[in-house]
Amino acid sequence: MGKESIKLIANNKKARHDYFLEEIFESGICLHGTEVKSLRQGKCSIKEAYIHIENGEVIIYGMNISPYEKGNIFNRDPLRPRKLLMHRSEIHKLLGKIKEKGYTIVPVEVYLKGSLVKVQIALAKGKKLYDKRQDIAKKDQRREAEREFKVRNL
């Protein structure tokens, strides 16, 4: 089999800033026709999105897929809850971890894998304020080191 092309549609940078991403899963998403067309144009946001497990189904809330311009009556509500498609064993694994204190599920990115729309979700543990400060300090040090390296090599 050939390699499938992956085209990033939406990225949730805030998830990496606010959480320690411990385990990453790939899931499909249940969509309607005009939503897929809108996603192919890159009109999607997962900044405010969150995920719940209800009755053994993984559901994403707050994922904004802008209405397709040529969709007229076929367009759906941009913020409607959407079902994520995952194996039952993965769902049970997530349920067990969520019951532990501090764990949650966050959407990380939405992308096209071949012709399919996929959502990358992560089992995450919330960062404390001092963890965030440490990450910012590391990022500043790395940026400073790159700047020094650039100056020396000119």
pTM to 2 decimal places: 0.77
Name, of 15-19, 58-62, 63-67, 143-147, the range with top average pLDDT. Answer: 58-62
Least confident of 33-42, 70-79, 104-113: 70-79
Dig out the tokens for 54 from the structure: 């209800």
Average pLDDT over residues 44-67: 89
Q: In order of start, what are the domains of the chain with their CATH numbers?
A: 6-127 (2.40.280.10)
Give the model's pLDDT for residue 27.
93
Strands (E), the chain: 6-11, 19-29, 44-45, 50-54, 57-61, 64-65, 82-85, 103-113, 116-126
pLDDT of residue 97: 87
Dump pLDDT digits (tens) for 119-144: 999 998 888 877 788 888 888 889 88
Q: Is the pLDDT of residue 48 over 90?
A: no
